[in-house]
A = this chain, B = another copy of it.
């Protein structure tokens, strides 16, 4: 291994920069050159790429987003697009590819590997934490902390005349952010796509909380479970409570990466380089039970991990 390529793909996640930094520094430590590929597979096809050195990753460890930018590329889903990317592999002398992203990005990497034989290693970078083969994905901890920060602030403003707050968080198919942030933030109810819910039950709980003297209630809604604005409207109709809605949107992706995400990113990025050095391919690095491990991409792709039922039950018990 004398030269590797690295790209970030799909939705960006805070900590991706820490991972790029680890890839570059680990590679340079072992005398390997690094080609940084911009805008995910789009830049890979369009040769928007170039060498990286220690200076390229100076002072990025604490920046959200990704200095390599990211994109979703339709062309890379076609054999023609991938053939163009392969031309760039040859042109830039890349002997292995590290793809930081999520399920869709890994699919592209795996197909690319099968078609063109180039070694690929995936690094799970997505705020949803729904990738098989790893307990945590890069960006999840920061996203959860961003939501919890919003809950903290909303708690402060709780007053007798504004009783119910609905906060819509990210998660089209995954309730992980809502569940973790709801448990950490002490939400009264957590609505996630994985578990059916009934707004009338939620309203009964609100009403009994008020009777018991509760000054305010916070309801977290994953975007894949319901629209925060709709939930707010219905609660208002069912209870008469003044219900305020917050939609956090993309601010969840950003922000200074948490220490946890940075350490995870450093460990996974360094391991990805090691795997390429050892001649591995078609694998994803992940952390399981605290250890950095590698899993075949075939066992990862299309097999999103599910939420923890234990945590869901715990959140329910603690929100009495």
Contact = CB atoms under 8 A, between A and B. Distances in A.
A302 to B, nearest CB: 23
Contacts of A58: 214-215
A245 B247 contact: yes
A288 B247 CA distance: 35
Interface string A24-56: 011011000000000100100000000000110
A115 interface: no
Nearest to A264: B184
Contacts of A266: 183-184, 314, 318
A185 B217 CA distance: 30
A221 B241 CA distance: 26
A275 interface: no
B156 A63 contact: yes
Interface string A230-269: 0000000000000011111111111110111011001100
A70 B72 CA distance: 40
Of the listed residues A66, A157, A248, the one surrounded by the most CB atoms of chain B closer than 10 A to its CB is A157
A112 interface: no
Interface string A145-189: 111101111111111111001000000000000001101111000
Given A181-B259, A186-B21, A72 B161 contact: yes
Contacts of A62: 148, 151-152, 155, 185-186
A161 B28 CA distance: 28
Contacts of A158: 59, 65
A225 interface: no
Contact of A320 (B29, B141, B153, B262): B29
A191 interface: no
A250 B165 contact: yes
Interface string A123-142: 00000000000010000010
A155 B63 CA distance: 10
A266 to B, nearest CB: 6
A25 B259 contact: no
12 contacts: A26-B318, A58-B214, A64-B156, A64-B157, A65-B156, A65-B159, A70-B159, A152-B256, A156-B255, A157-B250, A162-B250, A244-B250
